[in-house]
Amino acid sequence: MTMETNDPAPAAVPVPRPEPPVEPRVSIDEFKKFKLAVGQIKEAEVHPNADKLFVLKVDIGTEVRQLVAGIRRSYAPEQLVGRRVVVITNLQPAIIRGVESQGMVLAASDDQGVSVLQPDRDVALGSGVK
């Protein structure tokens, strides 16, 4: 025997969301210090001392730079060659796992992996990014 009632279901109790952490902010003058430019990947090789890194040769219009990028788990080298990307060109060079990097390729990451940021048309190499 089942018992039926017309009592409404209990109201759901809202679960409070935690406040997101406050991120440090930079001024527009600080942001302007970064030089962002369009570059084209000319070569992509496996980093000899790291399984997540590529060593890239990127033409930034005025020169070809060597960059180390942590995008190896999301791309094969042949997927990168010829691709136009956004590069920070005025970072101080850094030695990453024994290889010099002369800038940084900008990329987004989420639970599906990493995606390099790129213009949606063939913008001239060296063009500034705003």
User: Mean pLDDT over residues 39-56, rounded?
Assistant: 97
Q: How far apart are CA 70 and CA 121, in angstroms?
A: 24
- Of 42, 47, 43, 129, nearest to 88 (Cα)? 129
CB 54 within 8 A of CB 45: yes
Q: What is the pLDDT of residue 4?
A: 61
End-to-end, the C-alpha distance of the chain in Å comes to 71
pLDDT tens digits along 20-45: 888 899 999 999 999 999 999 999 99
CA distance 32 to 20: 27
What pLDDT shows up at residue 20? Answer: 85
Q: What is the pLDDT of residue 12?
A: 76
Domains, the chain, with CATH or none: 28-116 (2.40.50.140)
What distance in Å separates the CA atoms of residue 70 and residue 107, rounded to the nearest whole number?
9
Residue with tokens 């000319």: 42
